[in-house]
Structure 1
């Protein structure tokens, strides 16, 4: 049996981990608790000041107002669509990087995947705004086929978010495929399985936790994003930009709206945890 760590080692480890854990507790969990607590306050309709009176009116309005339900469902569907698109794009790209490309090319390909993350968020979003505009490169490329570009709206939001978060899906899938033993694929071929059977029965089960791990990023980041919809969303309303608009008008209502993505993300994390996805993060 391995020897138990010495008391001095445990003390040094505790002293090392205590400051970041304390900072996490106070800065993140503490601020989140205050945010959720403020959802039970009210706003004076005359002065617009926050009144520290305990009530559940904000949550009642949130649950009974159809427009809020529509916005929540739209946000959820966009986050799910972005996650599915990124998974479909990441699987072949990661497979090529890990299994088809030569070893000397794998590191440059990983760098190429990471390169977009080095550019600023706003730079990339506004670049897509230019490309998706009426005179943009997307419309020009589709014009010879008699087609029109998506313009600004829900489709543009899905396209831009899928582009922004794609590296977060590729990297865990690539890592899972790189760890997949070569003899497993050889054994599948020796047993007579074709390429598609190997993909379905060997590769996909092996990378499923990695795909779910990547989906944690794509889903949660899409669920809380509000800048992309302001830049390319046109008249589209999502939870993020509705919350941002409510902050200056009705802070308690903005806090109640903020509870929706928090609950959705917690439920999603609980679901993927059962599949072992968090072990691949």
Structure 2
């Protein structure tokens, strides 16, 4: 049944401000970003010249260091997503299917609590933990082992910690909606744990895992502060873009189109699996 004209008017008035904000502030800024990527910079004054040229994209595609940084950034984003998925599955299963009452509420609060702390507070806390005289090395020293220190491994660990709640929550919600009768029917038909996991639980949580991966992948792809804090000499796309903003703004804009294109492509891929329905 179609809404009445008066209802349509109120609905339009309600949706107009956020849609206008989306078009002007978000899509408009992306359009300006793409446009400025085709500008150039005066080599003597560093002023931006509104001269149409594809040189920035040519430099982006032909400079080996940019390709290396892009591949490293995608690799780290995928590693963070994979690690978060491995951690989120058992944690979400316990909170959704095993824990009850106060324990479930306490665990959910524990999952959400890190989101209330500031990003920099958590990142610098990990910097202290990963330092040469930090807690991790102190615990591992009696076994003759050392922590990863600062570098690519540290970046993956810290990013996985930062974005883990975004993976746990959709998986928890999916498992919570899984009818108990499905698990009981699987057991009654003689299916073992692995078969139940593969045939009953996996199809239920797959869209949720993909939904969580949208956050873990895209947030890791655009991050640059973690690499600065615990990455040592590790450079990500975000670091390269940030360093070019004050030196060559059009080149920074061209570099910024890479993570945007990757995120759009990733969203298009997971959309076909129904992941966006879980957001």
Pairwise same-fold verdict (TM > 0.5): yes
1:256 aligns to what? 254
SS in 1 for 2:133: coil
1:94 aligns to what? 92
Unmatched segments (≥5 aa) in structure 1: none
2:240 aligns to what? 242
Q: CA RMSD in A?
A: 0.7
In the alignment, which of 36, 51, 54 is matched to residue 52 of structure 2?
A: 54
Could you tell me how far 1:272 is from its partner in structure 2?
A: 0.2
Could you tell me how far 1:107 is from its partner in structure 2?
A: 2.0
Equivalences for residues 77-116 of structure 1 within 5 A: 77-116=75-114
Structure 1 stretches of 4+ with a deviation exceeding 2 A read none
| 1:60-80 Cα deviation digits (max 9, x unpaired) | 000000000000000000000
| 1:163-186 Cα deviation digits (max 9, x unpaired) | 000000000000000000010000
- State yes or no: 1:120 paired with 2:118: yes
Distance 1:76 1:193 in 2: 38
User: How many equivalent residue pairs?
Assistant: 279
Distance 1:106 1:209 in 2: 23
1:10 aligns to what? 8
TM-score (norm 2): 0.99
| 1:43-94 Cα deviation digits (max 9, x unpaired) | 1110011011000000000000000000000000000000000000000000
- State yes or no: 1:136 paired with 2:134: yes
Distance 2:102 2:188 in 1: 28
Could you tell me how far 1:197 is from its partner in structure 2?
A: 1.4
Unmatched segments (≥5 aa) in structure 2: none
Equivalences for residues 75-224 of structure 1 within 5 A: 75-224=73-222
- State yes or no: 1:38 paired with 2:36: yes
Could you tell me how far 1:279 is from its partner in structure 2?
A: 0.4
Distance 1:206 1:145 in 2: 41
SS in 2 for 1:10: helix
Distance 2:53 2:47 in 1: 16
1:276 aligns to what? 274
Could you tell me how far 1:9 is from its partner in structure 2?
A: 0.7
SS in 2 for 1:236: coil
2:69 aligns to what? 71
| 1:114-157 Cα deviation digits (max 9, x unpaired) | 00000000000000000000000111111111111111000000
